[in-house]
Structure 1
Amino acid sequence: MAPAYAQTKLVDFDQKSLFISACSIAFNPLFWNIVARQEYHNKVLTKLFGGRSQTACYGLAATIFSIGIVRDLLYERALRHQPSHPLLDSDLVTYIGYALLACGNILVISSTWALGITGTFLGDYFGILMDDIVTGFPFNVTDAPMYYGSTMSFLGSALVYSKPAGILLTGWVLLVYLVALRFENPFTAEIYAKRERERAAGKKEGKKQR
């Protein structure tokens, strides 16, 4: 006779909440990348906020934070509609899940603390650049603590609730973030490289005028 867990459905693909959650996960980084690039090239948000770039950045930060909450609620809803699996229903797995949640939140919160609101929420695209690159914790652990911390939290929730579908969605989260990083990192690097070129040009001009 087959063990009980062999007869347990891993993921219920008939649940619409699963696909709604997956769409929300993909939508968020797509949204903020499109909006931020429009801001960088056309100053769309700054114009909307009456020329106040910092206020516009805070507005985008509030929006990103809000859709992040919606995404997390949709993920939790999707998990509730999915089957649990006996192999994940153990104290050890639950403890691992809580440890991942704790570590993930530490990475997210500490990176926000280190960068500040504008540094965290794409202030670079608004012309609000940091003076120096942050190299301390958590950036000495990973170059994308916000993304990897969030991924760890998704996985932690999946393990706490014993949901294989959560593990599947966590893989989707990681893939979406990795794709986002391939676009974000070079673009951000170019923003700072442009500033350094402008500073160097300014110094040369200053020397000529002496």
Structure 2
Amino acid sequence: MSCKWNSIEPACLKGSLASVLQSIEFDQKWFKIALFFVGFNPVFWNVVARLEYRTHFLTRLAGGAKRGCYLLAFTIFSLGVARDLCFEWALRSQPVSAVLDQELVRNAGRVCIGVGQVLVVTSMYQLGVTGTYLGDYFGILMDHIVTAFPFNVSNNPMYQGSTLSFLGYSLLQGKPAGLVITLFVHTMYSVALKFEEPFTAKIYAQRDAQRAKKE
């Protein structure tokens, strides 16, 4: 039985999925390194940020809370660059899938990249460096919850925008390995949020309680 690439027949879908998975070289070196950075980075910044919150070691090391936050921001940004480079190098070494090698798929990839980058850039603009890079763990808190775009369309535009960018680049290149890495990116961000959101809420609740006492 012959199947068109976009057929919705169960047999065709099963065959297409098998073809996509078979084209991934799981043992490729840069693929493994990219997965390592995707998993390591959020664990690193969550562990370091909580250690800073409890001990203020970065504040002491850098000579101030703001400087400590900038130091952590530089480290997180550098790790992100390393992750993105490894992701790109991994995809260069991976085969293209005939299932994904379609203009419609590439156009979808371009849209994902565009939307993803808009979410990331506008999120950083709204939050600034300290708001983006865990300044609340250093005691640098925002006065009000940001509700302007992109936060009026997404609760976590930085993470969601980054995930969309990974997805878009994978589709644009037609590389199934990129989709696997993107899925891992989404999973790690989802896990990170399980730790970050309650802890951040606790920090702001303590701040509000202190303000109420003073008043």
Q: TM-score, normalised by structure 1?
A: 0.92
Q: CA deviation at 1:10?
A: 2.3
Residue among 22, 28, 40 paired with 2:53:
40
Correspondence 1:153-164 to 2 at 5 A: 153-164=165-176
Matched, 1:115 2:127: yes
The more displaced of 16-25 and 190-199 is: 16-25
Provide closer, same or farther for how the CA distance between residues 95 and 27 of structure 1 changes in structure 2, counting only shifts above 3 A. same
Q: Deviations over 1:148-170 (max 9, x none)?
A: 00000000010011001101111
Cα distance in structure 1, aligned partners of 2:27 and 2:48: 33
Residue among 70, 82, 86 paired with 1:58:
70
Q: CA RMSD in A?
A: 1.6
One-letter code aligned to 1:141? V
Q: CA deviation at 1:54?
A: 0.5
The more displaced of 169-178 and 84-93 is: 84-93
Matched, 1:79 2:98: no
Matched, 1:104 2:124: no
One-letter code aligned to 2:68? A
Cα distance in structure 2, aligned partners of 1:62 and 1:53: 14
Q: Residue 24 of structure 2 corresponds to which residue in structure 1? A: 11
Q: CA deviation at 1:81?
A: 1.3
Q: Aligned to 2:99, what secondary structure does the other structure show?
A: helix
Q: Deviations over 1:1-51 (max 9, x none)?
A: 87897767321112122111111001111111111111111001001012x
Q: Which runs of 4+ in 1 moved over 3 A?
A: 1-9
Q: Residue 92 of structure 1 corresponds to which residue in structure 2? A: 104
Cα distance in structure 2, aligned partners of 1:188 and 1:178: 15
Cα distance in structure 2, aligned partners of 1:7 and 1:27: 30
One-letter code aligned to 2:166? F
Cα distance in structure 2, aligned partners of 1:7 and 1:84: 11
Matched, 1:198 2:210: yes
Cα distance in structure 1, aligned partners of 2:116 and 2:165: 5
Q: How many residues align?
A: 202
Q: Aligned to 1:87, what secondary structure does the other structure show?
A: coil
Q: Aligned to 1:88, what secondary structure does the other structure show?
A: coil
Which runs of no fewer than 5 residues in structure 2 stay unpaired? 6-15
The more displaced of 151-160 and 11-20 is: 11-20
Q: Deviations over 1:70-116 (max 9, x none)?
A: 00000011111111101111111111101100100000000000011
Cα distance in structure 2, aligned partners of 1:115 and 1:7: 43
Q: Deviations over 1:163-205 (max 9, x none)?
A: 01101111100000000000000000000000000011111xx
Which runs of no fewer than 5 residues in structure 1 stay unpaired? 204-210
Q: Residue 145 of structure 1 corresponds to which residue in structure 2? A: 157
Residue among 172, 178, 192 paired with 2:184:
172
Residue among 36, 54, 60 paired with 1:23:
36
Q: Residue 124 of structure 1 corresponds to which residue in structure 2? A: 136
Cα distance in structure 2, aligned partners of 1:13 and 1:68: 22
One-letter code aligned to 1:76? E
Cα distance in structure 2, aligned partners of 1:19 and 1:148: 23
Cα distance in structure 2, aligned partners of 1:153 and 1:68: 13
Cα distance in structure 2, aligned partners of 1:53 and 1:200: 24
Residue among 63, 72, 82 paired with 1:70:
82
Cα distance in structure 2, aligned partners of 1:32 and 1:89: 36
